[in-house]
Amino acid sequence: MREILPALSAWYAAGVPFGLATVVAVSRSAPRDPGAAMAVGPGDEVVGSVSGGCVEGAVFELAQEVVASGEARLQTFGYSDEDAFAVGLTCGGEITLLVRPVSPAADPVFGEVAESVAAGRPVTVATVTDGPAPRGATLAVWPDRVAGSLGTDGLDVAVTADAHGELALGATGLRHYGPRGERREDAVTVFLHSFAPPPRMLVFGAIDYAASVARIGDFLGYRVTVCDARPVFATPKRFPQGVEVVVDWPHRYLRGTDTDARTVICVLTHDPKFDVPLLEEALRRPAAYIGAMGSRRTHDDRMKRLVEAGLTDRELARLRSPVGLDLGARTPEEVAVSVAAEIVALRWGGTGAPLTATAGAIHPH
C-alpha cells in the first residue's frame, strides 16, 4: 500500500473513483502477505500487485466491476488442478481479496489515512470483509481518535479496542465479531490493516561496512540512523541519502533513544571502549535483533568483558556475534547481505539453509 499511495492519493484528490484490491487472507505458499494491494484507476491504469502476476488479470476485471456497481466484493483465488491455464495460483497457495470502490463519497476517511501513512503517523484501517455489516465499510483508528464507522456503535467500540492493540504491534490480519461487536461470535469478519511507522535500524560505527548495512537497511524499509563518536567518520556524505548520521558516544546516544520489539541494532565498531558500554545498554532493552561485528577472537574478548560487566546468560543469549550468516562474504556489500539475511531469518523464523535442502512450505503460516 505504501508503494502505490502517491497514485491513490492523486486519484482520490481528483475525485476519481478507483477499485482497490487488498489481500486480506492467505494460505500455504501464497506469493504476497495480507495488506498487499493493487488498484485500477482512471484510464485503466494499474498500480501495485496482489500475487506477483498470477491473478492480476482477473483482479483488474473485478476492480472495474466494483467501481461500476459501487459494491465491494470478496474473492478467493487458488490453484486449479483441473485446468493449469485457469485463473489460479501456480504456487499452490490461496489468497482472499477484498475489492472495493474508493472515492470521497464511498470512503470519506481515505484521504486522512493516506496523509497519515505518507507522514509516518500510525493508523489502523478496519474494513468489513464479510457478514451482516456493510461490506467495505471502514473505520480508521489513530492512537488518539477514530473516523468512519462499520455500521453499529458496538462493533465500532470493539474494533477500535483491537485496532489499538494491533497498531502497537504493527500487526495486520482478520478479526471476528458479532453484529454489535460481541467478542465470542464470528458473524462479522473485519480486516485490520496497521500502518505503523517504519521500524528503526541503529548502526553504530561509521565504517565502510556501516555504509553498506545502512543502504540495505533502507532498502528493507527501516528508518536508519548511523552513530559514531568520531566526527571525521560520521559525515552524511559517506552514507546514502535519507540516512540520519549522529555524532555521539554510542552508548550515550542509545540511552537517550527509544527502541521497541522491531528495532534492529548493528554494532560495527569492534572496539571495546565503544562496544562494551553500548552492548550493556542494548542487551537490556527491547530490540528484535542485536548483532556485533568482529572476529571470533574479538567476540570471545567481548563476551568476557560483558560477563565482567554483570550481564546475565539470558541477556548475552540475545547477542548475534559474529554478526551475519555464513555466506563466505568478503566485501562490505557482501557482509551487508549477510547481516540482512540474518535479520530476515530471525524475524520470520527461517533457518538460513538453501531451500533445495529443505522441505515443506516455503512461507510457513
Tens of pLDDT along 237-291?
999 888 999 999 999 999 999 999 889 999 998 888 999 999 999 999 999 999 9
Mean pLDDT score, 15-33: 85
Please say whether the beta carbons of 278 and 251 come within 8 A: yes
Mean pLDDT score, 169-187: 88
At residue 344, does pLDDT exceed 80? yes
Residue 82: predicted pLDDT? 46
At residue 342, does pLDDT exceed 80? yes
Q: Is 145 helix (H, G, I), strand (E, B) or coil?
A: coil
Q: Return d(Cα 216, Cα 258) in angstroms, integer.
A: 22
Please say whether the beta carbons of 261 and 288 come within 8 A: yes
What is the percent of the chain where pLDDT is above 90? 73
Half-sphere exposure of 293 (CA within 13 A, CB side): 23
Q: Please state whether the peptide bond connecting residue 179 to the residue before it is cis, i.e. omega within 30 degrees of 0.
A: no
User: Strand 173-177 to strand 188-195: parallel, antiparallel, or no bridges (unpaired)?
Assistant: antiparallel
Map grid coordinates 550481564 to a residue.
311
Q: How many CB atoms lie within 10 A of CB 249?
A: 16
Which stretches of 90-230 are assigned E, i.e. beta strand? Answer: 94-102, 123-130, 138-141, 146-148, 173-177, 188-195, 200-204, 223-228
Stated pTM of the model: 0.67
Identify any residues that bridge with 174 across adjacent strands, giving them in sequence order: 191
Which grid cell sits at 37? 494491494
* Long-range CB contacts for residues 155-160, cutoff 8 Å, separation at least 24: 155/179, 155/180, 155/181, 155/188, 155/190, 156/181, 157/181, 158/182, 158/183, 159/126, 159/190, 159/192, 160/126
Which grid cell sits at 316? 548475552
Q: Return d(Cα 93, Cα 69) in angstroms, integer.
A: 29
At residue 347, does pLDDT exceed 90? no
Residue 79: predicted pLDDT? 59
Q: Return d(Cα 113, Cα 105) in angstroms, integer.
A: 15
